Amino acid sequence: MNKKYKYLDNINFPVDVKKISQSELKILADEVRNEMIDAVSETGGHLGAGLGVVELTVALHYIFNTPNDKLIWDVGHQTYPHKILTGRKDRIRTLRKGKGLSGFTKRSESEYDPFGAAHSSTSISSALGIAIANKLSNKTDNVIAVIGDGAMSAGMAYEAMNNAGASKTKMIVILNDNDMSISKPVGAMRSYLAKILSTKIYFSLRDTIKLIISSFSKRFSKKAGKAEDFLRSAVAGGTLFNSMGFYYIGPIDGHDMDALISVLKNAKEINHDGPIMIHLKTEKGKGYKFAEKSEDKYHGVTKFNVNTGVQEKSKSNIPAYTKVFANTLVKHAAKDSKIVGITAAMPSGTGMDIFAEKFPSRMFDTGIAEQHAVTFAAGLATEGYKPYAAIYSTFLQRAYDQVVHDVAIQSLPVRFAIDRAGLVGADGPTHAGSFDITYLSTLPNFIVMAASDEAELVRMINTSVDINDRPSAFRYPRGNGVGVNLPTIDEKIEIGKGRIINEGKKVALLNFGARLNECLVAKENLLKKGINITIIDARFSKPLDENLIWQIATDHEAVITIEEGSAGGFGSHVAQFLTDKNLLDSNLKYRSMILPDRFIDQDKPDLMYKYAGLDANNIEIKILDTLNSKVVIKKIN
């Protein structure tokens, strides 16, 4: 730590938190908040969410006996204060760096992280599983799940609540209601929670009821509890949570330390046979004025100046792929009223906020509900609309059944704009787009494209507008393009046709996606060794350019495919074609370069691709090895 703190300097684990008095917890919370702000200003990362749960984090570790009591955080990006208090204080400035702390909860990182999470809405399900395990093992440890109001827009949360309420298993769910996820949450749940919060009489009656109940003798407390339930129902109009079998407590000021301590202590000690829901009202970005005033509450930040709040800006003038996608789609939408945009709680991350500014009535944010988003898009497609579902690769995984059942089988022309394809850097393996090539290319009648640069992305969007008989997808990486000029929206690609970038001899390098620039660097290095290779930008994983693949397979000694994806993707489809055509029975050597069969930890993207063996140097090594090899199929460790 760079600063000196009265209490935090002496706190390394939750047991140390219990050594100070309740009145001192407020000062500790302020110190944790300051330390978090200072650390994230150096590392970048998720700021606003963590600032909003500082008091809650301190209170939870004060009341409960973690790690024996299991504390599960939904998504995990709000856990920086939790990490500071659970033995990771001295490493907090390694957040999201290579070999540093994860930006999310991670089981292998700490025993205080009982469940890893970086995608939303998993906390209640996992907490129920742990609580049931405790019951089966006759353990009395508490299980606490913390979930945000944004995550409550996902169906999985309701599935879990439905199961938990019916199970009659004690667990505590804390609803952290800050009226924000990454952007403003959407849907009926937001309106419902706002209605509860706006019923101000509920606060005063609850305080009154509490006083009345506390004055009753124990033999009347059960009846008093029933009276409280009746009054709560009469005042608040009943609650969804009560109906689902939860004992509902709230709303409570999530920044009032004394109130938190009291409520958490009562929830811990109450002899209630079933789940408890504690509804907190908090403020995302709390305690840092620049975050409080920001529209997104400083959800995710780059390095910044603590005193001014100014974040570091990219020094590149090259546009990001996300903006290239958004601006191109806007141009098409201006000419075609059937184009609509869909995103699942990620309007800014996918660029759909740009689309929404121009066409607010044609932009739909479904909340954190990717399954619904995909089937919603399918419904639009049945009526002749042209839906563009802009979803990160890693989040589209959550809707795979809908992609298969609702889109692919019916051959509906939903267009998937797959952002964050490939390795993504600081967010690590949970957010890497490693599998979409495989899980989409395996589907019959699906068009799967990958942009090798920002100009190709524009051409793929242009092409997708006219694909009206089947689903299509185009994938593109996080970050900036490579600096090429952008074509007009009239330039299109023939479906299933690749392009020859360089003609050489002996080895043909068949690229699918954004490794093309690395291929070109490898080519220049090989030229210095007197080796001139053929480079092809495949463009399509499905349908394959079979004529071009046949041509290079018969004209070269070796074919090497490269892609930013897992086994079973583009290279596997090429290998299947070569096998079907008996081309591998000849003297042709075939190799594939893919992401390795392991999850790659967070680091700078260039280093991650180096570790994955997909940088220019590894491409060059692969080509030289292939030329020297006399074995057609070679196992690569």
Strand order in the sheet with 172-177: 70-73, 143-148, 172-177, 276-281, 247-253
Q: Please count the other Cβ atoms lying within 10 Å of the Cβ belonging to residue 187.
A: 17
Q: Please, are residues 425 and 302 in contact by the beta-carbon 8 Å criterion?
A: no
Judged by DSSP in three states, 447 sits in: strand
Judged by DSSP in three states, 312 sits in: coil
Q: At 214, which amino acid appears?
A: S
DSSP character at residue 407: I
Who contacts 405 (Cβ-Cβ below 8 Å, separation ≥6)? Answer: none
Who contacts 401 (Cβ-Cβ below 8 Å, separation ≥6)? Answer: 371
Long-range contacts of 543-552 (CB under 8 A, 24+ apart): 543/447, 543/495, 543/496, 544/496, 544/573, 544/574, 544/577, 545/496, 545/497, 545/498, 546/496, 546/577, 548/497, 548/498, 548/500, 549/510, 549/574, 549/577, 549/578, 550/581, 550/583, 552/508, 552/510
Sign for the pseudo-dihedral over CA of 130, 132, 134, 140: positive
Who contacts 229 (Cβ-Cβ below 8 Å, separation ≥6)? Answer: 242
Kind and range of the H or E run holding 560: strand 558-563
Sign for the pseudo-dihedral over CA of 116, 121, 122, 123: positive
Catalytic residue among 283, 370, 456, 518: 370
Active-site residue 370, yes or no? Answer: yes
Catalytic residue among 70, 206, 284, 459: 284
Tokens read off for 91 = 């490493």
279 phi, psi to nearest 5 deg: -100, 110
Q: Please, are residues 236 and 242 in contact by the beta-carbon 8 Å criterion?
A: no
Strands (E), 149-283: 172-177, 247-253, 276-281
Catalytic residue among 96, 232, 398, 542: 398
Q: Would you tell me the crossing angle of helices 616-628 and 516-527 to the nearest 10 degrees?
A: 60
Active-site residue 398, yes or no? Answer: yes
What are the catalytic residues? 284, 370, 398
